[in-house]
Each structure stands twice: as structure tokens, then as C-alpha cells.
Structure 1
């Protein structure tokens, strides 16, 4: 990599704070809507299909635009495009708050997804331009923690806002936060761009966008329609075919949208794999656990968000430990140890019984968060270290595309697994067919039916069945995480042999060498 400046920008930590504030909005925007769906269905009003599109329109656009957004940042200026993305996200949030119907909310969510697709990779690509290698692990830890902090904050803030204000406040919340972050970014962060960034590959962008939209749509529809449904299969197969065509095209085009040479770098590939697994697991846990805390344990929306905090505390502890351990031990041992701790936490969670108290949940959540921090932070640092300076935006777009697509796939597959086990274990003997079908749909509907009928046996059966499904999902995550750690330990290259510092080597040279050791 190109050597950083000997004297980094003194405002870099304040600039990182501005990036963290922007990422905070993206974090809680991913979860805040989940607690508002029931309110939106009554206030707008919106049916099941409309609610699904309110959620999915954001995800589809977000996944599809990450790749071209990174390249455009390299070409036209990362700070400039980041500010444009923040402006789009803020304006779309305001439009969503003021919308008076389902169509307006869906359109606003589309533009929010577009703004977020610009903000996520460019905020990541700015890090190596303002931080020298020896500070980058700490910067990545802050960057990761900002996104993670927003996830449990979503239900907390959403529950409080919906209890005290109208439904549009969940969108309006973004506006002052992103405006403050935008002003800070404009004054605190320097502009950076690649001197020889290629032009946007229009045909490649079309193939990648169409492929990702089709594939993610298939992933979203799989749990709803069934994985064997013709529309689901068609979307998945068509998306994969388009993405395969995109990959072949990128290997031939002179100015590719995606730097395929990165996949020949085993350090990059395995570090990215660890990051994808961490994202998948965190998304999966945050998908299955709120229903357990709300329906099985009987907590409210605000209380549910509060009970997710131990995972964040563990992640922060992992980030602090990583900052101290990685410079001494290297990234590979810490990533493997983190994946082992993560697998242990998930395995412990898979032993959850319906009568267990919150203390047990808090314990395995803390261990899980610690494992995520130990695995993901050095993984993302190693990934950033392998990206060329002139293609940091393009590379960050690729990294975030794979991470977010992996997260969406993980939620869909784990959701299907939970649903399958739940349906198989639910006891519905003696119930009318329409009541049984409603209870089979979800644990939330089963609880509502049981309350309406005054049927404690149905409620107990639904809770037991959901815990069985959650345990199965956590067990699968634990096995996948352990396997990833074993493969990473076996195949990821180790650190290069240390040699004496060359004559006349500067402290900056030593720092760069230390960072290369860290990435390995």
C-alpha cells in the first residue's frame, strides 16, 4: 500500500466521530422499523404485502447500489459523494415522516436505501486515507461499534417514539442526526479520490444491479413463498446467472467495476469470510432473539431493546481487547480465537430452555458479542489493509455488498429454519382449522390467538416450539462459525518472517511493516 503521510490530520478522530454518528443512523434504521410495523398497518393502513415492501424496498436498493457507489466515490471524491448520500438519506427520511400513505413511505424507503448504499462503503473507504496503519485497528473498532450500537438502539428508540409521538417520528429522527453528521464531515474530513480511477462500467453496473436485486428478492421471498416456489427459484437462479455473467464480464473489461484480483489474495478472502460470518451471525441473532424476548419472555418493545445491550457490551470489550492484542499476536490468531468464542456463545445460546431466566440470555449474548468483536474488527482491518489506495472505494463497495448480501441470506435461511421447527413442534390438537393456521403462521399470532381464546396450553406450546426453533438456528450458527474458524486457521497465510529493520528505516517504515504483519 502507499505510505500514509508522516503527520496524519490532527482532526482525524473528530472526523471519525462524524462518520460514527452517520453510521449510527444506518444501524438503528435497520431495526427501528421492525417495532413499527403493527402501528403502520393500522395508521396508514397497510396490509401484509405493503408492509413487506416497506421493509424490502430499502434492502433491495441498498444491496444493489453498494458496488457502483464505491467506484463513484473513488472517481469523484469520497467525501463529496458521502455528503451527497447523507443528503439523500436525510431528505428521504423527512419525506417518509411526512408521507400520507403506503406509496409515499415505500418511495421514501427506496431513496433511503440509495443514500445508505453510498454512506456505508464510502465511510469505510475514508478510514485508510486519514488513519496511519498503527491506528487503523482502533478506528475500525469505532466504525464497527457505531453500526452495532444502532441495532439495539432501534427497538429502544422506536418503542419510545411510538409510545409518545406519531409513527412518522421514527423517520424524522434521522434528519437532525444526519444533518449534524453531514456538517461535521464537511468541516473535519479531507477530500480524497483516486488519481486514476476508471470510468463507471455501465454494462457491469447493470448486470450487478439486476443480479443483486433478483437474488436478494429471491432470498426475501424464500421464507414467505417457500424455497421451492417458482418465483423464488426463478429470482434466485436468475440472480445467480446475472452475477455469474457480471463476474465473467469484469474479467474481460478494461475498467472493471469490481477488482477481481482481490480474490487471488488469500488474506483478503479469508478475512472477508470472517467478516461475512460475523455479519450473518449478528443479523441472525437480532432477527430471532427479539421475538423470544417479547413473546416468550413477555417483555415490551423498549425492554426488548434494553435486553440486547449485553451483546453490544461484549462487542465493545472485544474491540478494546483487539486494539491491545493484535499488534502483539497478529490478526489471524485473534480472528480464530474470536470465532471460537463466538461459536461458544452461540452454542451456549442453543441450550436455552423455555423456563430459563434473562441472566442466562445475558451471559451468552455477552460471550457472543465478545466473539463478534474479536473476529470482525481485525478481519475488517485486514481487509482494509489489502485494498489499494487508488481503489479503496471500489474495494469497500465490494466488501459491503458481500457482507450485506450474506446478512440478508442468513436472516432468510435462519428464519426458514426457525419457522420449520416451530411448525413441526407446535401442538394444535382440537383447534379449528382457521385458528390452527393462524397459530402456525408465527409465534406472535399464536400468542394473540391464545390470549383471545383464553388457551394457556396453546400459548405454552407456541413458546416451547419457538424456543426449539431458536435453539436450532443458534446451533447451526455455532457450527458454521466453528467451521469457519478451523478453515481460516488452516488456509489463511500466517505472518511473514520478521527480519531486521533495513538500514535507515524510519519509525513509519516500522509501523507499515507492523501493519502488514497485523493483516497477515
Structure 2
């Protein structure tokens, strides 16, 4: 099938009000056009739905241990089911992004959000581990669909120069939703059981799906490309092998044949994907974007800030809980990372929009903040001292959003207008890679400084400080990559 061109109707005005002006043509309903601020209403909807990507895994991590006990899962089955959603998300991200570009981004967004609700209901009502796992697998597909379309929608609502501000709202609202949901989840589960946690997710998805139908316009790619099935398949296989191998490395070790074999398969398949896309007439993903220094730096920053996030998030509970720190105190300290995110998202938007800080400055300073939050832990002498972990988690959370705003603006601002959904797949892909690395590397690095099987405050601090040194080197690398001769690409 040859590619055909489909032209959308131009953006229309709301009678008696200011015309609805957006970078891409939108199909507004009559009620939306009569709204006082239709773009802001659509953006708030996108931001809250985007927050679901963080709400679901946060609530799932709370409910999973009790669900595994009640359904009689053995540890191997429980470990696989816990990660299956992430694996399926990685496999489906590129494909669902392309389908949204082709058939309508709001349509795909609403479908993904409602499918998240259906998956949560299946999980909540599961009587066997198989049905429970099916619900989590569907959640991976649904999350990929809704989140890819959220990222694709924002550049159609705001011009490129306003993307940092728009992504500040997007990530700030999402982080706030995660904090609220996480704070309430323990109480809900304590009163009504683990199934109620997933039902709460389903109710939230239903409300936000209906809101999307009410407040969001429809748009799609103006040029319908041929569906690149080989490219989508290669990307899915390569990403699944990568995510699965890194996840298993945290339990089996990096030298295990399954881990090494999976990483080798991933490297070969993703290399084949890149070669295929470069030679394909209608590629699923424009891999030539990696020739842009700013795009490459944004992807590298995404791997790194997710690495710092996961490393500290994984190591602090591993130190505090066995040492007898109350679980409620650990949860409160961990929540400070999300408080830092809530603060960092609007701060990043203000820094770029009002003060004109460059992407080079944002990425470099953010990585140095990650290094500071990690290095600070070397001063911890007693696991019961809460101040240093609290400060480190807040600083890293702030740094994550400080970099995530420009990272998202660069990635989505670089995307061709007809491939917004496809390019949006890069962000969660690099995020999953970095998050997996953080969890898989933090334990072995801390183990270098351990005298026995238990994680001590000294090993915890030295392990994180060692990673901090790497983040300083990474900051220098990005500073050089985005030096002034590449200023046009960096902007």
C-alpha cells in the first residue's frame, strides 16, 4: 500500500471568543469551542492521564505482596508477574504510538485509558495467578497506549517554545497524582484488602477516560505512512530482551548466562532495527534523530536520571527496613522524592521560559544535582537517621523533573509532525532502561563495600557515592556534547 495524504480540517474558532490556536489542526467539538480555555482543559486532562503511568506501578507495588500470598504464587511466578507489565509496555510502545498517529490520538488515548481500567478490574477479580498475570499484561499494553498518546498530544497543543512550560504542568500534575494515590493506598488496602487497590485504579481510569472524551479534541498525522511491521517487531523483540535481561540481573547477577545471552540478543536485534529503519522507505521510527546532539543528550539524560531515581529508591528501603526503621517512616521518606518532583517540574519550566536556561545548562546541572543527592549518603552513619536519606531523595526527585522537562521538550520538539506517537516511544524506552540499570547495579556496587550479607550504612553510602562520581563524568560528557557549535540543534 502506498502512502496517502489525509488533510484535517483547520482549527476552528469558538464563536464570540478568541480563536482556538494550536500548532496542529484539531477537531474540536462545538462544546469545546465554546469553552473559555479549551487548550488548558485538554492539557489538564493529558497531564492527569499521564500521571496514571506512575500511579499504577506505585499501587501495584503496595498490593502485590498480599495478592501473591492470597493467590498462592511461588516466588518465581510472583517475580515474573510483577514485571510482566513493564515487559509488555516496552514491547508495545512503538506499535501503539504509530497506530495512534494513524487513526487518531484522542481515540487511542481514550482506548488506552479505559483498557487500563479494564485491566485493573481483571487483576482485582482474579482468582488464579494466570488471570492476575493476564490483567497485568493488559495493563502494560494499555499504559503504553495512553502514555505514548499523552506525549504525542502536547506538541499539537503548544508551540515548540512553550513546550518546557507545558511539560512542567504535565509532570507536576502527574507527580501530585502519584503522591495523593500513594498516600491513600495503604489506608484503602488496610480497610478493604488488596483487591480494592486495583479497583481504585479502575475507577480513576474511568473518570479520566470520560474526561478525555469531554475536554480533548481529536487529531492525527496528516500523512498516513505504511505500517512498518518488521521495524515494530524488531523494536519489540529488542526492547523486551533488554528490559527482561536487566530485570533478571538484579536477582541472578550480571554474569549469569541468561542475562548475558539476553543482552547479546538485545544488542543484535536493536542493531538490526536501526539498519532496517535507515534503509526503509517508510520507517516506523526516524533513527536519524540520533544524529542531533540535543536529541542524543536528551536520551542519555533520560537513562541517567532514571538510574539515579531507581538506585536511591531501591537502596534506602533495603537499608532501613532490615535495620528496624518503621515501614511508615520509610514510606514517608520515600514520598519526599515525589515532593521533590512536584517542586522540580514547575521550577524547570520557569527556568527555561522566564530565565532562558539552555538545555545544556539544564541537563548538566540536573546530573550534578543527582550526584549531590547520591554523594550526600556517604555521610550517613546510622540507618535510623532520616535527615540525609530525606534530603537525598528530595534532591534526586527535584533533579529528575528538572531534567525531564527539557528532555521531553527536546524529544517531542524534534519529532516530525506525522510521527509524534512513534518518537514519543523513545522517552519511556530510555526511562525503563535507566530504571532497570539503577535497580540492577545499585546492589552489586554496594556489595563491593560490604563485609557480610547485610547492607550496612557504610556500604550504602559508599555505593551511592561511587555512582555519584559517574554522574559527574556524565555531566561533563553532556556539557561537551552540547557545546556552542551545536547550539542550533540544542535549542
- 1:364 deviates by 2.4
Tell me if the contact between 2:167 and 2:349 (Cα under 8 Å) persists in the aligned partners: no
Tell me if the contact between 1:156 and 1:303 (Cα under 8 Å) persists in the aligned partners: no
Structure 1 residue matching 2:379: 3-state secondary structure: coil
- 1:421 deviates by 4.3
Match of 1:437 in 2: none
Match of 1:372 in 2: 400
One of 226, 231, 250 as aligned partner of 1:223: 250
Matches within 5 A, 1:45-64: 45-64=72-91
In our comparison, the structure showing a higher alpha carbon Rg is: 1
CA–CA distance in structure 1, aligned partners of residues 244 and 186 of structure 2 = 28
Match of 2:344 in 1: 318
Q: How many residues matched?
A: 460
Match of 1:452 in 2: none
One of 470, 487, 503 as aligned partner of 2:477: 487
- Give a deviation string over 1:6-40, Cα, whole Å, max 9, x none: 83483222222222222333212223233334322
Match of 1:404 in 2: 432
One of 157, 160, 166 as aligned partner of 1:130: 157
One of 10, 18, 23 as aligned partner of 2:50: 23
Q: Does 1:84 align with 2:74?
A: no
Match of 1:362 in 2: 390
One of 359, 369, 374 as aligned partner of 1:331: 359
One of 132, 136, 141 as aligned partner of 1:114: 141
Match of 2:451 in 1: 425
* Distance 1:23-1:306 versus aligned 2 partners, 3 A rule: farther
TM-score between the two structures when normalised by the length of structure 1: 0.82
TM-score between the two structures when normalised by the length of structure 2: 0.87
* Distance 1:493-1:6 versus aligned 2 partners, 3 A rule: farther
- 1:57 deviates by 0.9
CA–CA distance in structure 2, aligned partners of residues 49 and 157 of structure 1 = 29
- 1:49 deviates by 0.9
Structure 2 residue matching 1:425: 3-state secondary structure: coil
Matches within 5 A, 1:87-106: 87-106=114-133
* Distance 1:296-1:35 versus aligned 2 partners, 3 A rule: farther
Gaps of 5+ in 2: 1-9, 12-18, 23-32
Match of 1:471 in 2: 461
CA–CA distance in structure 1, aligned partners of residues 314 and 180 of structure 2 = 14
CA–CA distance in structure 1, aligned partners of residues 406 and 238 of structure 2 = 30
- Give a deviation string over 1:196-250, Cα, whole Å, max 9, x none: 1322211122222122222222112222223222222222211221111111111
Q: Does 1:349 align with 2:377?
A: yes
Match of 2:241 in 1: 214
RMSD: 2.5
Match of 1:67 in 2: 94
CA–CA distance in structure 1, aligned partners of residues 389 and 271 of structure 2 = 42
Q: Does 1:268 align with 2:258?
A: no
* Distance 1:33-1:414 versus aligned 2 partners, 3 A rule: same
Tell me if the contact between 2:169 and 2:346 (Cα under 8 Å) persists in the aligned partners: no
CA–CA distance in structure 1, aligned partners of residues 459 and 56 of structure 2 = 27
CA–CA distance in structure 2, aligned partners of residues 466 and 11 of structure 1 = 54
Q: Does 1:413 align with 2:403?
A: no
